[in-house]
Amino acid sequence: MPLVRVDIKKHRDPTHAKRIGQLIYAAMRQTIGVPEHDNFQILAEHDEQHFIFDPEYLGINRSDNLVVIQITLNEGRTLEQKKNLYKTIAESLNAELAVRLEDVFINLVEVKKENWSFGNGVAQYAL
């Protein structure tokens, strides 16, 4: 059950954020085994005063088209799965939406299964 948050600077195309989300979901299904219908996303666009980043941190030249992706998911994926996820997301955003590879910033937040409630006040994954 990943929860995906995407933050971008306000884009001229009103479908841009949703298209980013669709590509991320497809990459998660392909690389880390996310099942069909397990798609929960928060897509936010910001003006330049509310979207702050360092354009050169770690020697990576970022532009105003930076896409910040945070995925909260159950712990347990291997390092190789994570690397494949990062690569697949970046490459698909580049190929489909012309997002520069340098402008794809991804953060995974791993949690234990009991840290989710999908509704009804119940911890559905708690054993």
**Which residues are known to be catalytic?**
2
Distance (Å, rounded) from C-alpha 49 to C-alpha 101? 23
Distance (Å, rounded) from C-alpha 3 to C-alpha 98? 24
3-class DSSP assignment, residue 122? strand
Distance (Å, rounded) from C-alpha 111 to C-alpha 61? 31
Distance (Å, rounded) from C-alpha 48 to C-alpha 30? 33
